[in-house]
Homo-oligomer: A and B are copies of this chain.
């Protein structure tokens, strides 16, 4: 029996905090040391994650100074950097930040954060002390482009993506009011989404001369979980060559698969998978990619990174029963 590690969550009351918690409860090698929440301190975790009723009596803690092996930061943008700067954590504590504070290579308090996209740099993650967990759109878009970038074949890309409402967080907002969002579609942050920074950083690292745009149109969807992305670019690859390139690239990666059949979003909802499907029409290569924004796009990938850092099986705690229908 593997020794269990101690794990803490800071900011456990939000969506990514809750999803991280759900995954950790079923992880065979993890003991939860604490789940902190400033707003919910003292209350049972079931007060915000009501689906856990009957499974746990855990309450939110105020502080987080118990020593842990792995610490998950599930905070709003900007808060992680502040927290790491203002608090002293043990050198033995690995930090996995689910926000976007450290994704562009920033260091704080002597801690260097490694960009935690296993399909991009699994080996660096295995030896990392701190992880900047990728964004949900960033994950889904990159997984559709990595093999092309590594092969130096990227050109200007036109990408449209649609996201579930949980991507917008738990805060009450007009764009997440049910009466507005039900049966509705809308666009936002056209060509300026904040995930473009990390996307370009990865792509340029793989294909150094790449200077073209990833033109990304984000849409809000009327569902709670999942991201569907379609990317279009010119390519001289035949469909067969493109499929071969992608399948070889992902052959050793347990969560990312190239489907020969057209894909639909619910194939990945409630799983840590990313599915890809390629088409070639005329000169255009088209890549569809899908993830669950809270899993492969957030908490699932965070656990995957923990598994890699801690020497566990990469899929440990992540063999989830998908929703299917």
Contact = CB atoms under 8 A, between A and B. Distances in A.
Given A160-B230, A186-B265, A271-B51, A286 B323 contact: no
Interface residues of A, number: 82
A273 interface: yes
A185 B265 contact: yes
Contacts of A279: 190-191
B223 A219 contact: no
Interface of A: 15, 18-19, 22-23, 26, 49-54, 158, 160, 162, 164-166, 168, 170, 172-174, 176-188, 190-192, 213, 215, 217, 219, 221-226, 228, 230, 232, 255, 257, 259, 261-271, 273, 275, 279, 281-282, 284, 286, 288, 294, 319-325
Given A18-B324, A23-B321, A184-B265, 16 more contacts: A19-B324, A50-B264, A51-B322, A52-B322, A53-B259, A165-B178, A165-B179, A170-B177, A172-B172, A183-B226, A185-B264, A186-B265, A190-B279, A191-B232, A225-B325, A294-B325
Copies of this subunit: 4
A136 to B, nearest CB: 14
A22 B324 contact: yes
* Residue from A183, A223, A263 having most chain B Cβ neighbours under 10 A: A183
